[in-house]
Amino acid sequence: VSVGASYQDEMLAVSGRLEYRTEDGLVAGSSVDADTFLIASDMSYKFSNEARFIGCLDYARTETDQGSLLDGEYGEVVLGYAFRPIMDDQLNVLARYRYLHDMYGQRVDGVDENGPRQRSHVLSVNAIYDLNEHWAVAGKLGYRMAETSPDETAAFVQNDAYLLAGSLTYHLVHEWDAMVEVRNFTTVQAGTS
């Protein structure tokens, strides 16, 4: 059973869907009974033609008989702000917050066992600034505060990281650019960079 709705006007766009799914059966003699509940939604609000707020909420939960399928829970919340001037697009900025709650893990090497799980908060800011008609500089700053676990039997451990990136772009001709970029990804607890 699935029910969805959407609304849109000049400033606001909202859509959402609720779904409930039940599955019953046998595969190679193993039960594959499962019930899944899903929420998916998106929203965008334009403060002006140059600035907007975006957001989404996704949630899924599966409960099974623990036969050949596994229980799991997944949730994601994203909130963002975009500034993109129309008349003078010298500066463009996108700021975003994301929360991820992934208790499904992954199917690893074709084996039905929960893989890595995580709970994380991610903050990021991207900006591009046009110095003139040929040169542009850009940067990104991102920070992840996370707890991860290799599987459902292991305890969660802190796994924070940050990303710094910068680039310099030269606009050669129409649709052709030359770019130099430098990035640094650092894991805090693991001590790698």
- pTM, two decimals, is 0.82
Q: Are 17 and 39 in contact (CB under 8 A)?
A: yes
Distance CA 185, CA 193 (A): 6
Distance CA 6, CA 193 (A): 44
CB atoms within 10 A of CB 130: 17
* pLDDT band, residue 69 (cuts 50/70/90): low
Q: What is the pLDDT of residue 51?
A: 94
Q: What is the pLDDT of residue 100?
A: 95
What residues pair up with 146 in beta bridges, in sequence order?
120
Question: Which of helix, strand or coil describes residue 126?
Answer: strand
Question: Which of helix, strand or coil describes residue 115?
Answer: coil
Q: What is the pLDDT of residue 71?
A: 78
Higher pLDDT, 115 or 146: 146
Structure tokens at 115: 């893989």
Residue type at 80? Answer: G
Mean pLDDT of 54-76: 84
Q: Are 38 and 44 in contact (CB under 8 A)?
A: no
Q: What is the pLDDT of residue 49?
A: 87
* Surface-to-core class of residue 92, CB atoms within 10 Å of its CB (0-12 exposed, 13-18 middle, 19+ buried): middle
pLDDT at 139 over 90: yes
Mean pLDDT of 73-79: 95
Higher pLDDT, 111 or 138: 138
Q: What is the pLDDT of residue 92?
A: 94
Q: pLDDT tens digits, residue range 123-137?
A: 999 999 999 989 999
Mean pLDDT of 148-175: 91
pLDDT at 154 over 90: no
* pLDDT band, residue 140 (cuts 50/70/90): very high
Q: pLDDT tens digits, residue range 2-53?
A: 999 999 999 999 999 999 999 888 767 777 788 999 999 999 999 998 999 9
Q: What is the pLDDT of residue 114?
A: 64
Q: Please, which residues have CB within 8 angstroms of residue 41's CB and are 6 or more apart in sequence?
A: 14, 15, 16, 17, 56, 57, 58
Q: pLDDT tens digits, residue range 81-123?
A: 999 888 888 899 999 999 999 887 655 566 656 678 899 999 9
Long-range contacts of 109-113 (CB under 8 A, 24+ apart): 112/68, 112/69, 112/70, 113/70, 113/151
pLDDT at 66 over 70: no
